[in-house]
Structure 1
């Protein structure tokens, strides 16, 4: 299925947000996620189904100052 991940169109076999995080090799415990603009907590990712044309954001915290 085709989705948008961090602004780029990608093809994925993942059916849940948790599967997408693993497929794209993000560190699940150290990223924040949103689906179509709505925050998705880590505990809800496995129950968050993906559908074609979803817009997913995966953000990592940055250090600096």
Structure 2
């Protein structure tokens, strides 16, 4: 299916957000995720099914002061 990951086009057959994160190298990383502009908490990623055309944002926390 065709997705957008952080603004870049991506073809993936990952059925869930958790599977997509694992396939794209984010597995185990502390990140924030949103699908189509809606925040998806880590506890719901495995049950959040993706659909063709979804736009996924993955953001890593930044340190600093």
User: TM-score normalised by the shorter chain: which range applies?
Assistant: over 0.9
Q: How far, CA to CA, are the matches of 1:28 and 1:35 in structure 2?
A: 19
Contact 1:29–1:42 at 8 Å: present in 2 too? no
TM-score (norm 1): 0.93
Q: Which runs of 4+ in 1 moved over 6 A?
A: none
**SS state at 2:52 partner:** coil
Structure 1, unpaired ranges of 5+: none
Q: CA deviation at 1:39?
A: 0.3
Supply the RMSD in Å over aligned alpha carbons. 1.1
Q: How far, CA to CA, are the matches of 2:49 and 2:26 in structure 1?
A: 18
Structure 2, unpaired ranges of 5+: none
Q: CA deviation at 1:29?
A: 4.5
Q: How does 1:1-65 map to 2 (within 5 A)?
A: 1-65=1-65
More helix, by proportion: 1
Contact 1:4–1:55 at 8 Å: present in 2 too? yes
